[in-house]
Amino acid sequence: MTPDTVLDIGQTALEATTVLGAVILLPALGVGLLVAIFQAATQINEMTLSFIPKLIVVVVILMAAGPWMLRVIMNFTITLYESIPELIG
């Protein structure tokens, strides 16, 4: 196994992690921004007002994108396991 191979595997893992994290974090960021603008406009300073909508959005995104996310993780893992003989030999 060469250092280039290790770097390729690490890069692929980081790309998969970034895509899977972005699917969850970007909608939560958008909802948090909208709630913050609403709170600034109405001067409501309630902490749960920002937490509950983000939690709901994250749960909905996980329910909707969960199967796709699982397929991405499984494909990466299966590809990694199938490439073990090539990596060793």
Instruction: Please check whether residue 38 lies inside any domain of the structure.
Output: yes
Residue 67 amino acid letter:
P
Q: Which domain holds residue 67?
A: 13-88
Instruction: Please check whether residue 61 lies inside any domain of the structure.
Output: yes
Q: What is the mean pLDDT of residues 35-48?
A: 88
Instruction: Please check whether residue 5 lies inside any domain of the structure.
Output: no
Q: What is the pLDDT of residues 53-73, one digit of tens each?
A: 999 999 999 999 999 999 999
Band of residue 48 on the pLDDT scale cut at 50, 70, 90: confident
Q: With b meaning 16 or more CB within 10 Å and e meaning fewer, what string describes 4-29?
A: eeeeebeeeeeebeeebeebeeebbe
pTM of the model: 0.80
Instruction: Please check whether residue 42 lies inside any domain of the structure.
Output: yes
User: For tokens 């994250």, what's the residue?
Assistant: 58
Q: What is the number of structural domains in the chain?
A: 1
Length reported for the chain:
89
Instruction: Please check whether residue 57 lies inside any domain of the structure.
Output: yes
Tell whether the model's pLDDT for residue 15 goes beyond 80: yes
Report pLDDT for 57.
96
**How far, in Å, are 37, 45, 60 from residue 41 at the CA level?**
6, 11, 27
Could you tell me which residues come within 8 angstroms of residue 50 by beta carbon, excluding any fewer than 6 positions away?
Answer: 32, 35, 36, 39
